[in-house]
Chains A and B, each alone.
Chain A
């Protein structure tokens, strides 16, 4: 297969994902309203109750809205990954996933292309969210918005790969509600998205240890540091390694030998 064919194929998959995203306006709105609600209602309410001391990467006292913003960026990417997972299960049940899987391109390439396209969509959502947050004076250093981009690619890929892995293991669309309960909420709440780990540790050392095992914590910290032009090596590499592991398992899950594209049973 020629290199240009791979490029054409990737472009085709990315174009379709972006077209679908913009045609599903409700999805776009939901992706924005959810974190904005947290930022403008939840965080505003908790501002007085929760004080955040000076911790890296912050060099001064910050408001709770500023603290929570990286977690909400992670939330956007987490929900986007799960949304992609949902649409992959839906596409598989409706049949259109078969068109992708019967392409002559290697299956790993098709899955990675889909993942990259989904990540691009999540990054668009993040920057629109940051733009709205900026209007409410919740802002980061200007250069931080640029420094954030490569980190968003890695965190988006990790969370997208997690969604892809879940889609390879969930056999029916009806079971997706379970993902919401058992994956999204624990991942979000058992992380440093809403509270710093030291604060969680003050209340429960066990809870802090659980949070430290959660790859979403590292994604959020990567984002937090990048917004302030700092590079958190541990957070970045844990995120990247988790992403590679999820992706390899997802590729395995979609191999013909696993037969995920075929419902079990004779026909």
Chain B
């Protein structure tokens, strides 16, 4: 799974907020391009800490993180330009229109105006949001805001797309549509996707899974391999066994 084809490579990453408790302990895994990888773990497993390290909201203390083969500590600008991210919390400016939000993001990536407009059109069309481009974000419902956030994360054509529990607060049909859409994106655009979740039903049989528990990556690989190694017929039961928690 490692090497040039990796959208994300995490090697021996540990992190502690205090001297006594490690939030992450020697975590290593890869997200290949064109694959959908679910980062599965109960609350407090260390998912958000890991995401903060990958996005450089937290400083790395040891181990290494590479995005599309660029080390985030040695070449932060280069690495971050290949990362698309959808945070768990909504991060759109409610008082600005959809287009104004997207233009702002494009500018943060140094994208020239004409190219930005073209990409904004493309992505909004892909998400069926083109006709709502001039509406203030405040007027959009949760599902539409999420679509805009995913469209925004794709504007600069990243190699790696990181989504931190993007379905939180959405109704089931909207959630299913977004899961489906991101799977399609991953295949068609050859993007490595890391989808952090604690919801088993968002994961499909053909996906890769990394199970994070108490700061450690206790299992990783394609879903069938995990089922085979744990001896359980469903991922929910395997997760339950691995973490000692009831699968959500």
Q: Point out the residue from A13, A19, A103, A262 that lies within 8 Å of B52, measured CB to CB.
A: A262
B57 in contact with A9 (CB, 8 Å): no
Query: CB of A177 within 8 A of chain B?
Result: no
B109 in contact with A102 (CB, 8 Å): no
A105 in contact with B89 (CB, 8 Å): no
Query: CB of A32 within 8 A of chain B?
Result: no
State which size class the interface on B falls in.
Answer: 35 or more
A8 in contact with B111 (CB, 8 Å): yes
B95 in contact with A23 (CB, 8 Å): yes
State which size class the interface on A falls in.
Answer: 35 or more
- How many residue pairs link A and B with beta carbons under 8 A? The number is 123
A103 in contact with B46 (CB, 8 Å): no
Query: CB of A100 within 8 A of chain B?
Result: yes
A267 in contact with B57 (CB, 8 Å): no
Q: Which of A91-99, A186-194, A217-225 contacts B (4 or more CB under 8 A)?
A: A91-99
Query: CB of A101 within 8 A of chain B?
Result: yes
Query: CB of B83 within 8 A of chain A?
Result: yes
- B219: min CB distance to chain A, Å: 20
Q: Give chain B residues whose Cβ lies under 8 Å from the Cβ of A13.
A: 104, 107-108
Query: CB of B125 within 8 A of chain A?
Result: no
Q: Give chain A residues whose Cβ lies under 8 Å from the Cβ of B215.
A: 266
Contact A99 B58, CB 8 Å, known A5-B110, A104-B77, A266-B44: no
Which residues from chain A sit less than 8 Å from chain B, CB to CB?
A: 1-2, 4-6, 8-9, 11-13, 15-16, 19-20, 23-24, 94-96, 98-106, 110, 255-259, 261-262, 264-267
Q: List 21 A-B contacts (CB under 8 A).
A: A8-B112, A12-B106, A15-B103, A16-B96, A16-B100, A20-B96, A23-B96, A94-B90, A98-B57, A99-B105, A99-B108, A102-B55, A104-B80, A104-B81, A104-B109, A105-B108, A256-B57, A262-B52, A262-B57, A265-B17, A266-B215
Which residues from chain B sit less than 8 Å from chain A, CB to CB?
A: 17, 21, 23, 43-44, 46-49, 52, 55-60, 76-81, 83, 85, 87, 89-93, 95-96, 100, 103-113, 215
